[in-house]
Chain A
Amino acid sequence: MLTDIINLSLLASMIRLSTPLILAALGGMYSERGGVINIALEGIMLSGAFTAAAVTALTHNPWIGLGAATCAGLLVALIHAVASIQFRADQVVVGTAINILFLGVPALASGALFESTGSTPQLPREQTLPDWNIPLLEKIPVLSQLLSGHKPIVYVALAMVPVSYYIVFRTRFGLRLRAVGENPEAADTAGVSVTRMRYAGVLISGVLAGIGGAYLSIGQNSLFTRNMTAGRGFIALAALIFGKWHPVGAFLACLLFGLADAVAIRMQGVVAIPVQVIQIIPYVLTLVVLAGFIGRSTPPRAIGKPYVKEK
């Protein structure tokens, strides 16, 4: 029975299921490293997922859908940025408002566009994102099963891990971003625009979480359904905390959650356990991770605090 559950295809499915989490968690990292809590990841993912499916259904082209989802994520992140950076609103409250907003917006828009209540039309398989076979990798036995034949967004997510590490720890931009998240006064004194850096962090998070959302609706599935993120934005935040706001740490944490998800899906066919019990595994794991295993995880020092420039 165990061999039915644990095998190579389980790991491949772990990678697929981790993908939206990885993108959202990395996105959250940019925002939070800059000092802005991004509770809105869930809502941003929903906006991306809905936009991707809706635009693909209208244009019959998943790439346009993906582009639109990226823009949607950016726009929603802009709402967050304006409210929490410009207007210095409570970041957690703003994030929550955005999450609630995108419980409603897709439902209303799908009603207006497709005369349905909350979902978009089923896309034919050729109109979802294609599976990519990686030329050389395809020939290597184990790795090909693990890493080849995924949707393009999977590779984007995997690539973003080292790229994010480089950006955050090896570039001037990254240094400044971390500076405004740790000590905005000092960064300001050194001539760094706190507002501009924070905007950049939040907007990047919007782009990445939007793409992560698109993966759900036009990669992993072929339509948008009501509240289809099912808490992934929050799980990504937990992974970010578990990974101590570090790209590699967050990546590994996301893999752990992806694995839990993959095992849960496998168990449904094999073990006689009610589906509800299996469904709660990732959520319980999140609680356990936040409570027990992390030790103390220290957030960026100025996180959640609006910055007021001294005159």
Chain B
Amino acid sequence: MKTFLRETVFSLIAVVAAFLVGGVIVWMVGDRPLLVYELFFSSAFGSIDGIGYTLFYATPLIFTGLAVAVAFKSGLLNIGAEGQLIAAAFATAWVGLVLPGWPAVVVVLLAMCAAVVVGGVWAGIPGVLKAKFGAHEVITTIMMNFIAVSIVSYFTQYHYRRQGDPILQTLPIASVSEGIVTGPHIPRIHALLAPLGINFPERLPLNLAFLLALLACGVVYVFLWKTKWGYELRAVGENPSAAEYGGISISRNIVIAMSLSGMLAGMVGINEVLGYRYRYYDGFSAEYGFTGIAVALLGRNHPLGVLVSAILFGALIRSSLFIDIFTDSVSRDWVAILRAIIILFVASEAAFRFVSRRRAQRAEG
């Protein structure tokens, strides 16, 4: 309990400090920090629309945050969630495109499987390269990002685009007319809550994938802390040589951790394609993969922490549009900078803890 409290306090300090530095940056580019803070809170939490969109943007971040956290737990940094989710989102749409006329439920289930499998494979490759050849996963996952972007844009442009479409996107897998979606898709929260008599605005794109993300938090928690596989994975992350001495295969766990990580990142495709746009749209990801690193670090690689910090970063994405429009000189990139500062603070803060622990040890000894 004590560590839980301390971790929370440290994360809070990192966020507050990042917002302060972010305020200084706003001031440096010649704008009013208070206005930006106010825009942040009012646009992200000030209305049901704000909250709905914040949770909608948080959904992919929960997936990528969990993805990075699982890899972190085994001592790996997966900075390729971006490529994994792009490949997976395309695969999700692809299933819908190549199975026209199949029952929607079957297509939805197959498309979900495709998202998970393709994400897992895309991260599994760097996992194998690391386990077999010692290739650093940070470099290989970044390379896989570039490869995913190119291949997916190739297939979108030359094989699955509507003739003459000026936008780089595939044909739709479901059609929308007057708010009614026909074809394979997952329902919006509006449709799920309506039978219960709760009126959640239909215009908000928040969908079933958000509930899947919450479920994923639970599953990851149980996997990591309540199963033998999770124990082995964490053991490899904490002390590889001790784990190996205890009969745990390091290379097997590297491949497992990376594949699981990629599967989680791949689930972003479900939210994007089946729950929101009903097609693959090139460049849809607002750097969800990279933000996942910040989400995981701030959330202490714990599913609950990931959930809370994903909502914070979701709020940042939601508000970035308003900050962009309603200030003279602060663009939406301010949010990207804040994200990096939070990572820096959280990473360096581990040092303070380390120092204080050593001081305590020294005082004892």
Contact = CB atoms under 8 A, between A and B. Distances in A.
Taking each of B129, B135, B158, which has the highest tally of chain A beta carbons within 10 Å of its own beta carbon?
B135
Interface in B317-343: 329-331, 333-337, 339-341, 343
Interface in A81-111: 83, 86-90, 92-98, 100-101, 103-105, 107-109, 111
A291 B77 CA distance: 18
Interface string A94-130: 1111101101110111011000011000000000000
A120 B2 CA distance: 50
A286 B290 contact: no
Given A39-B138, A101-B337, A108 B133 contact: no
A297 B134 CA distance: 9
A101 B147 contact: no
Nearest to B345: A97
B6 interface: no
Interface residues of A, number: 50
A276 B77 contact: no
Give the contact-size bracket for chain B.
Answer: 35 or more
B139 A89 contact: no
B133 A88 contact: no
A101 B341 CA distance: 7
Nearest to A107: B333
Nearest to B153: A276
Interface of A: 39, 79, 83, 86-90, 92-98, 100-101, 103-105, 107-109, 111-112, 117-118, 230-231, 234, 237-238, 241, 274, 276-277, 279-280, 283-284, 286-287, 290-292, 294, 296-297, 308, 311
Interface stretch (B94-102, B259-267, B347-355): B347-355
Instruction: List the 10 shortest-distance A-B pairs measured between CB atoms, nearest first.
Output: A104-B336, A101-B340, A87-B351, A276-B154, A97-B343, A107-B333, A290-B135, A112-B29, A104-B337, A89-B347
Given A87-B348, A238-B139, A276-B150, A93 B77 contact: yes
Contact of A101 (B143, B144, B344, B347): B344
B358 interface: yes
B146 A89 contact: no
Interface string B124-159: 000001001111101110111011001101100110
A96 B343 contact: yes
B270 interface: no
A291 B133 CA distance: 6
A92 B146 contact: no
A287 B140 contact: yes
A290 B340 contact: no
A112 B30 contact: yes
Contact of A283 (B147, B351, B355): B147
A276 to B, nearest CB: 4
Contact of A280 (B79, B129, B151, B339): B151
18 contacts: A89-B347, A90-B350, A97-B347, A101-B337, A107-B333, A108-B336, A234-B139, A234-B143, A238-B139, A241-B136, A274-B154, A274-B157, A274-B158, A276-B153, A283-B144, A287-B143, A294-B133, A311-B362
A115 B348 CA distance: 34
B287 interface: yes
Nearest to B350: A89
Contact of A231 (B142, B290, B335): B142
Nearest to B76: A92
Contacts of B154: 274, 276-277
- Main SS class of interface, A: helix
Contacts of B362: 311
B344 A94 contact: yes
Nearest to B133: A291
Interface in B105-137: 129, 132-136
B93 interface: no
A280 to B, nearest CB: 5
B138 A92 contact: yes
Taking each of A89, A238, A277, which has the highest tally of chain B beta carbons within 10 Å of its own beta carbon?
A89
A82 to B, nearest CB: 8
A17 to B, nearest CB: 16
- Main SS class of interface, B: helix
B13 interface: no
Interface in B224-245: none
B342 to A, nearest CB: 8
A96 B150 CA distance: 22
A276 B159 CA distance: 13
A41 to B, nearest CB: 11
Given A96-B343, A111-B331, A88 B293 contact: no
Given A277-B150, A287-B129, 11 more contacts: A39-B138, A88-B355, A93-B293, A95-B138, A96-B138, A98-B344, A100-B290, A109-B29, A274-B158, A280-B147, A290-B140
Interface in B31-61: none
B284 to A, nearest CB: 17
Contact of A87 (B132, B142, B290, B352): B352
Contacts of B343: 93, 96-97, 100
A95 B290 CA distance: 13
B25 interface: yes
B274 interface: no
B213 interface: no
Contacts of A108: 25, 29, 330-331, 333-334, 336-337
A92 B86 CA distance: 24
Given A89-B351, A107-B333, A276 B138 contact: no
Contacts of B336: 100-101, 103-104, 107-108
Nearest to A295: B133
B250 interface: no
B297 A93 contact: yes
B290 A83 contact: no
Nearest to A88: B351
Contacts of B139: 234, 237-238, 241, 286, 290
Nearest to B287: A103
Contact of B133 (A96, A234, A290): A290
B143 A231 contact: yes
